[in-house]
Amino acid sequence: MPRSSPSEIGGTNLAAVLDTLAWSELGAAILAGSDDGYNVFVGSTPNNINTFSSYADHPMKLVSWKNRKGETVYGSAAGRYQLLKRYWPAYKSLLHLPDFSPQSQDKVAIQMIKEQKAFIIFQQGKFTEGFKRISNIWASVPGAGYGQHEHELASLEQVYLRKGGVVTA
């Protein structure tokens, strides 16, 4: 569950979207084996969850891991919504965030959803349209095209519904 209340982030549907994104990006086992994903580095697996210990700021660290082909890859994504280090300073300034706490991470994810014109779409329960709009942000969303594993939209919708989201269209 997001650490921000539904009223702080735009309602129950948006809280369900954030939970769905966290599940999509990290998976249930990593969420359960960490601080609900808020302290996780990219490249973590259920058997090797790589975490950071301070929420004072984005860890700003480049990490390496082996992809499915056994190749070493690098990335800087961190936290529940896998925020890239190159974008963190701009969001921190724009949103006047004091740290990389769970609440700050929630605010950045909501801002990114707003920038894709999906905030109101999700509030209205238009699940499919909302996820199409944010697919260019999160690599695990169908249609992202980053060459990483993309979940089926039906799987994401099941998580969304379990987390209390409502679908109207």
H helical segments located in the chain: 6-9, 12-26, 28-32, 88-94, 102-115, 119-123, 127-134, 153-162
Q: Which of 25, 150, 152, 157 is catalytic?
A: 25
25 is catalytic: yes
Three-class SS of residue 74? strand
CB 15 within 8 A of CB 163: yes
CB 52 within 8 A of CB 61: yes
For 126, the token pair is 């238009």
CB 153 within 8 A of CB 145: no
For the four alpha carbons of 128, 118, 44 and 4, in that order, the dihedral sign comes to negative
Amino acid letter, 54: S
Active site residues: 25
